[in-house]
Amino acid sequence: MKFPDGFEKRMKIQMESEWSSLKEALESEPPVSIRYNPLKFQKQQNEFSVPWCKDGFYLPQRPIFTLDPLLHAGAYYVQEASSMLIEKAINFISGDNEPKRVLDLCAAPGGKSTHLLSLLNSNSLLVSNEVIQTRVPVLIENLTKWGYQNSIVTNLDPKIFARLEGFFDIILVDAPCSGEGLFRKDPKAMNEWSEENASNCALRQTRILNDILPSLRPGGFIIYSTCTYNPSENQDQLQKMSNHHEMTSIQLDLVEKYGVLELSSNGIYGYQCIPNKTKGEGFFMGVMQKKSGEIKDHKINKKLNISIPKTIDSSQWLSESDNYVIFENHENEFSFIKKSLQHDVEIILSHIPVKKIGTHFITLKGKNILPTHGLALSVCKSPGLPTIEVPLQEALEYLRKNNLNIEYPGDGWKIVNYQGNALGWVNATSGRFNNKLPMEFRIRTL
């Protein structure tokens, strides 16, 4: 592997005696890891477990994930193991298991957002934001597959969140960076690297942090992470937060257990994964706590439209339907979210534009009620909804949006299951199946 000259020169100084073993590790095959959805798929801990993530597992080799229906069902997410380290930060700062207001600022494609949803109390509210508009659909798709109801999706520049002053308990900033930690996994990252680009990334990261910190409540925490080794994009960003925003650094117990490097200077603690020490790619993380600030009382001037037609019986579709508020998010399109979250959602609606709230579960078309793909994949759906269990080949045909070649189960809407996990709906009518998988969810491989 031929590294950029500027990168290798800096790393020899930065890593000292570690550089030769790191370089050797970077020339080896990267590990493959996934993280299971705890509400859809349970797996016992074993020798393949990612030690810092209770639902993380290594695979002996990389399969063709596209041809595994369980991926499309949201039973697991393909995620780099080192980035799962945020679980330890979340567990440390939310150990009381109380509901939290959480922002994932740079969320697409959704790996860390789905991880956060698995870790947080179900009465917590997650706002998943993606700045780049073209990346929002994949974020929504992955959140839909994961199946949780307690999330909002936004597409905003970080500075817009200043309208929600002091609102969030936790903000995750997985910042855009020079990508040095991905060189082994993604040669494109190495080809795009330059010292100028790394410097520009550091300037962008500082701006992002300056813009987002006003929305963190006093006493709240920011988790800052990158997939690079560059101190100007890592420890230096934590130091700037401490110097200019009255933030204090939090020390985590990660070093001895997991082989993570603890980088400490001037009371600032950062944690670096390097492939010769940890089984994963290069990843950096630090946790900062806001010392002071004013508690803000946020006004509500925009409420959810909960005037729903009497024809909608949510108990037909949702488990424990009394726990949810049903609202019309667009004309004749209805979504749900926990009643305990309604106040926080209405605060957000009153201050910033949103792309998606909760789970869209039914659409009215004339007198007909049409269930949605989001409902099929939801962990909140009624267990009494009719299902069809199909084998692998039929599951793949369904995911290609083809017809099913199985015994006709009778008329009506039915959820297609594979190994007990929902893939989507069919509407069986007059002896034939109408495949209701959304076009954007279909697989295109043979």
- Res 44: pLDDT: 81
The residue ranges of every structural domain in the chain are 81-290, 299-382, 386-446
Torsion of Cα atoms, 115 then 120 then 122 then 127, to 10°: -70
pLDDT of residue 290 exceeding 90:
yes
256 or 85: which leads in pLDDT: 85
CATH of 386-446, one of 3.90.800.10, 3.40.109.10, 1.20.120.420, 3.10.450.720: 3.10.450.720
Residues with Cβ within 8 Å of residue 173, at least 6 apart in sequence: 105, 106, 208, 209, 212, 222, 223, 224, 225
Segment 395-422, tens digit of pLDDT: 999 999 999 999 999 999 999 999 999 9
Does the pLDDT of residue 350 top 70, yes or no? yes
pLDDT in tens, 98-122: 999 999 999 999 999 999 999 999 9
pLDDT given at position 108: 98
Give φ, ψ of 397 to 5 degrees: -60, -40
Q: Residue 43's pLDDT band (boundaries 50, 70, 90)?
A: confident
Residue 188 pLDDT exceeds 90: no
Q: C-alpha distances in angstroms, 178 versus 183, 201, 259, 263?
A: 10, 6, 23, 19
The answer to whether residue 256 scores a pLDDT higher than 90 is: no
What pTM was estimated for this model as a whole?
0.96
The string over 93-121, giving b where at least 16 C-beta atoms fall within 10 Å of a residue's C-beta and e elsewhere, is bbeeeebbbbbbbbbbbbbbbbbbbbbbe
Lowest mean pLDDT among 31-45, 65-79, 121-135: 31-45
Q: What mean pLDDT value characterizes the chain?
A: 95
Question: Span 177-181, mean pLDDT?
Answer: 96
Please compute the mean of the pLDDT values over residues 204-225 and round it to a whole number.
97
pLDDT at 175 over 70: yes
Catalytic annotation, residues: 227
| pLDDT confidence of residue 96 | 75
Cα 409 from Cα 431, distance rounded (Å)? 9
Query: What is the edge-to-edge ordering of all strands in the sheet holding 359-365?
Result: 324-330, 333-338, 359-365, 368-371
Beta bridge partners of 249: 288
- Please state which CATH number belongs to domain 81-290: 3.40.50.150
Tell me which residue of 237, 347, 340, 216 sits closest to 289, measured CA to CA.
Answer: 216
Tell me the percentage of the chain whose pLDDT exceeds 70. 99
Reported as a pLDDT band with limits 50, 70 and 90, residue 95 is confident
- pLDDT band (50, 70, 90) for residue 30: very high
Share above pLDDT 90 across residues of the chain, in percent, rounded to a whole number: 89
At 446, the pLDDT band (50, 70, 90 cuts) reads low
When mean pLDDT is compared across 45-49, 56-60, 200-204, the lowest value belongs to 45-49
Widest distance between CA atoms in the chain:
73
